[in-house]
Structure 1
C-alpha cells in the first residue's frame, strides 16, 4: 500500500467554533436584511381601526341600497400619458338618462399594494353631466379607481374599480 501524500486534518475545537460563529453570522445577517426589507416596503394596514370599520358597516349597507335605488349611471374613462399625467373623464346620468349636475366628485387612484402611492384627482364640472380631472406623477400599473359623488353634504354615489394604466 502506498502512503497518502495529503494528510487528513483533524477537526479541532477551534474549527468547530469558527464554523458555528460563521453559520450564525450568516443566518442573523440574512434575517436582518429580510426584516429591513419587510419594514421599509410594508404599506401599512387596509383599515386603521377594524373596530371603527365594523361599526360603519351597517351604514355602508344602507348607503349601497340607496345608491342602487337611485340607479345612476356614472361612466369613467382614465388615460395615462407617457409623462405620468393621468386624465379622467366622467359622465354622470340619472336613471332616466338626464345629466347629473352640481355634484361634487372626489376621485382617488389607490395603489392596491402601497397606500403611500395613492393619488387624488381634482375634478371640475364641464357641463351637461360631464366632469374632468387630472393627476400628476401616476405610475404605470394596476390601480383602484375610487369615485365618490356628494350632493348636499351627503355621499350619493360610490364606485371602486380596478384599472390598468400603461
Structure 2
C-alpha cells in the first residue's frame, strides 16, 4: 500500500489575520464607494417644513398645468461669464418680458445659493424686451435654476431646470 498521506491543512493565526483584514477591506471599500456615489449624485431637496410643502403641492401643480398650456419655451444660456434668458411662444415668436429673476440653488448646500436679477439686453432690436442677461459665472457642478419671468401675467412665468455647469458653461 503506497497511499500518500496528506497532512490536513491547519487554520493558523496567519490565516485568521488575512481573513479579518480582507473582510474589513471589503467593508471599507464598499462604504467609500457608496459614499462617493451618493455625494456625486444626491439630488435632495431641502425644505424648512415638509408638511407645508406637501400642502402647497396641488396648487403648484395646477399653476404648472396652466403655464404648460401656454406653450411657451424658455431659452437659458450660460457661457463666457454671462447668464441670459429669453422666452418664445408656441409659434417661436419672442414673448415680451418686463423682468427676469433667477435663483441658482445648489441641491445639497443652500449656503451656495445665488439670486440674480437680469437686465434687458441693450442691443435687443426686436423692441419687445425679450432677452435678459447678467454678468455671472456659476461654480462648476449641478444646480437647480428657478427662473421667474415677468410676462405681464397674474403670476410670473416659472421655469425650473436642473443644469450642469462645467468650466463656466452650461452642459
3-state SS of the aligned residue for 1:53? helix
Matched residues, number: 117
- Give the gaps of 5 or more residues in structure 1: 1-44
Q: In structure 1, how many angstroms separate the alpha carbons of the residues matched to 2:160 and 2:78?
A: 14
Query: What is the CA deviation profile of residues 25-53 of structure 1, one whole-angstrom value per residue up to 9, with x for unaligned ones?
Result: xxxxxxxxxxxxxxxxxxxx711111211
Native 8 Å contact 1:145 1:162 kept in 2: yes
Q: 2-side partners of 1:77 and 1:46: how far apart? A: 26
Q: Which runs of 5+ in 2 are unaligned?
A: 1-44
In 2, distance between residues paired with 1:134 and 1:122? 10
Q: Give 2:33's aligned residue.
A: none
Divergent runs of 4+, >6 A = none
- The root-mean-square deviation of aligned C-alpha atoms, in Å, is 2.2
Q: Which residue of 2 aligns with 1:133?
A: 134
Within the candidate set 112, 118, 122, 2:117 is matched to 122
Tell me if structure 2 keeps the 8 A contact 1:143–1:165.
no
Q: Partner of 2:94 in structure 1?
A: 99
- The question of 1:89 aligning with 2:84 is answered yes
Distance 2:60 2:115 in 1: 22
The match for 2:147 is 147
Alpha-carbon offset, residue 135 of structure 1: 2.8
Structure 1 distance, partners of 2:157, 2:104, is: 19
Higher strand share: 1
Question: Does the CA contact (< 8 Å) of 2:146 and 2:158 recur in 1?
Answer: no
Please name the residue that 2:47 is paired with: 47
Cα 1:69–1:146 change in 2 (3 A) is same
CA-to-aligned-CA distance 1:73-113 (integer Å, 9 cap, x gap)? 1111112x5xxxx4112121111222111332211211122
Q: Distance in 2 between matches of 1:152 and 1:66?
A: 12
**2:65 aligns to what?**
65
Change (3 A) 1:142 1:156: closer
Q: Secondary structure at the match of 1:154?
A: coil
Equivalent in the alignment of 2:25? none
Task: Give the distance between the partners of 1:123 and 1:97, measured in 2 at CA.
Answer: 22
Report the TM-score, using the length of structure 2 for normalisation.
Answer: 0.60
Distance 2:98 2:66 in 1: 17
